[in-house]
Chains A and B, each alone.
Chain A
Amino acid sequence: MMGDTTGLQINIGVAGLVRFMPMHLLLEEGGRVISAGPTLMRVLAGQEVTGARFEDLFEVRAPGSVVLVTDLVQRAGQRFRLVPHHNRRVGLRGLGLRLAGTEMVLLNLSFGIDLIAAVREYALTDADFAATDLAMEMLYLAEANAAVTNELRALNLRLEGARMLAEEEALTDPLTGLRNRRAADLVLERLCASRAAFGVMHLDLDYFKAVNDTLGHAAGDFVLENVGRILREQVRAEDCAARIGGDEFVIILPGRTDAQVLQTIATRIIARVSEPMEFEGSPCKISGSIGIVRSSDLTAPDAAQVLVASDRALYAAKHAGRGQAVLLSGECG
């Protein structure tokens, strides 16, 4: 059946061309258009196509320095790229062939990677493509990909939100809304590692145990919440106020190493904490002692050393009588 087909001539006619190659261009050897496929006609809409010269309709982008269709088909083995002169946004690519035994040249074109732009530009439908063309699949894929990417982006945002919330919760003391011990450690580690200057206050409430014992845990919690509110009011946004134990608090103040300033802040906090509070009609009288240390007074401190030093300063404050703030300078450790 399948003998030697090299010499076989096939006549598919212009109607066949239209069906099989809706983007073909049939030219006279001289370069004038005989006919164009219906989809290509949509690309060239608004121009006189039949009889027009190839070089007036298209610019050849590759191969380089080719203008005329005769030069183009001499490189028939290569693919070429064109842009229509009147709409340079949509590129075309294709193959060319001199039709044996005739004085005609046949080009078959396709949109290549500019498919999506072309479909939009010329409002093409699936009827504009040959049934064998993968245009539909490419459009489908582009849209399916965009949908998947959007879903992934949305998922990422939701996960990131959940992560931030979880992180926030992991670093927050739920009762007071202040930072917790872990958060304070992280801040101190970061400041120590970057050798930044900072001040630390270690606050311990006085008479808190008495409130807890006589008025109960609800009163104790009420007092702690109040202290939390006071500390939030007294520190700057860049400071870190943390509850690190039952009635023990740490305030880390980046950039604050002036003894006078630290002393003033501490005194103000003690004054606020010592103001009378009332829980369900019963007065809760507490006060606070504060030990202060500065990074500048420690040589190459780490987080643990800072806390040991601040604890020592706190002990000195308690020793000096309740309701005091004591700054320990000089080497302690």
Chain B
Amino acid sequence: MDALLLRSLQGYVRDTFGHPAWTAICRKADLNFETFEPMLRYDSGMADRVASYAAYTLGRAVDTIWEDMGTYLVTNPGHEGVRRLLRFGGSSFADFLHSLEEMPGRARLAMPDLDLPEFTLNQVSEDCFEIRCRSPIGGMKRVLVGMLTAMADDYGALCLIDGEADGLIKVQILDSAHASGRRFDLTLPERSE
């Protein structure tokens, strides 16, 4: 999981703050490389470590960096695949929230050795949800907050998403059809090659 987060962080920082910013972070972190490979393995704890150097170098809170990266992953056109895979979770934002518990199982279908975090969803009332996220990666909860924020937009739902509580994300859906949301077709258009 560290590899995927590190690769995403690399893309987010480069696209948002430019290549020199990423180079500076890698130097501060004492890495002798600056390209992370999503399909390789890195020491656990490396994602949090590099993120703390990113926070220091960019002068931003590490929570903000993880959250913005989560949003970037869903909204950036270069990562359309991430948004699409998440949208398979359900036809509404509430459906999607319910699918979070299935996410590790779904991910394992494609990548058996991917140690995705475990999510537990508790529906407090019709519109209120609590999501617990268990992961060895400290920034994971904040990444999820950023992704949830972007996915609510994608579904056109108006939500309050609060990630301040320890290990817990509170989601309140104020209006599930606030905006029209983004279109989602079940299959990609056939590529003409």
The yes or no answer to B181 lying at the interface (CB within 8 A) is no
Interface residues of A in 102-158 (CB under 8 A from B): 116, 119-120, 123-127, 136-137, 139-141, 143-145, 147-148, 151-152, 155, 158
Task: Check if B186 sits within 8 Å of A151, measured CB to CB.
Answer: no
Given A144-B106, A155-B39, A123–B185 Cβ distance below 8 Å? yes
CB distance B111 to A120 under 8 Å?
Answer: no
Q: How far is the CA of A188 from the CA of B91 in the complex (A)?
A: 66
Tell yes or no: B81 within 8 A of A by CB: yes
Closest to B4 in A: A151
Q: How far is the CA of A141 from the CA of B85 in the complex (A)?
A: 9
Measured CA separation A152–B186 after assembly (Å) = 24
For chain B residues 1-58, which have a beta carbon within 8 Å of chain A?
35, 37-40
Q: Distance in Å from the Cβ of A188 to the closest Cβ of chain B?
A: 36
Q: Are A125 and B186 in contact (CB under 8 A)?
A: yes
Contacts of B38 in A (CB 8 A): 151, 155
- A139–B110 contact, CB under 8 A? no
A124–B186 contact, CB under 8 A? yes
* A141 near B186: Cβ-Cβ < 8 Å: no
Contact A136 B88 (CB under 8 A): yes
Assess A141 versus B109: contact at CB under 8 Å? Given A127-B91, A151-B38, A152-B39: yes
**Interface residues on chain A, size class:** 20 to 34
Q: How far is the CB of B96 from chain A (nearest CB, A)?
A: 12
* Given contacts A123-B185, A155-B37, A155-B39, A144 and B85 within 8 Å (CB-CB): yes
Q: Which of A120, A124, A151 contacts B39 (CB 8 A)?
A: A151
Q: Is the interface of B mostly helix, strand, loop or mixed?
A: loop
On chain A, the residues within 8 Å of B106 by CB distance are 137, 140, 144
Instruction: Give chain A nearest CB distance to B151 CB in angstroms.
Output: 15
Closest approach, in angstroms, between the C-beta of A141 and any C-beta of chain B?
5
The distance in angstroms between the C-alpha atoms of A141 and B189, with both chains bound, is: 17
Q: Tell me the residues in window 39-84 of chain A with beta carbons closer than 8 Å to chain B beta carbons.
A: none
- In the complex, the answer to whether B88 meets A140 with C-beta atoms within 8 Å is yes
B134 at the interface (CB under 8 A from A): no
Least Cβ–Cβ distance between A139 and chain B, in angstroms: 5
A158 / chain B contacts, CB cutoff of 8 Å: 35, 37
The minimal Cβ–Cβ distance linking A14 to chain B, given in whole angstroms, is 24
Tell me which residues from 151 to 203 in chain A have a Cβ below 8 Å from any Cβ of chain B. 151-152, 155, 158
The answer, yes or no, to whether B84 is at the interface (CB within 8 Å) is yes
Interface centre among B106, B109, B110 (most CB of A within 10 A): B110
**CB-defined contacts of B39 to chain A, threshold 8 Å:** 148, 151-152, 155
Which residue numbers of A lie inside 8 Å of B, CB to CB? 116, 119-120, 123-127, 136-137, 139-141, 143-145, 147-148, 151-152, 155, 158
- With A126-B90, A144-B85 already in contact, 6 other A-B pairs whose C-beta atoms are closer than 8 Å: A116-B187, A120-B190, A127-B91, A143-B88, A144-B107, A158-B35
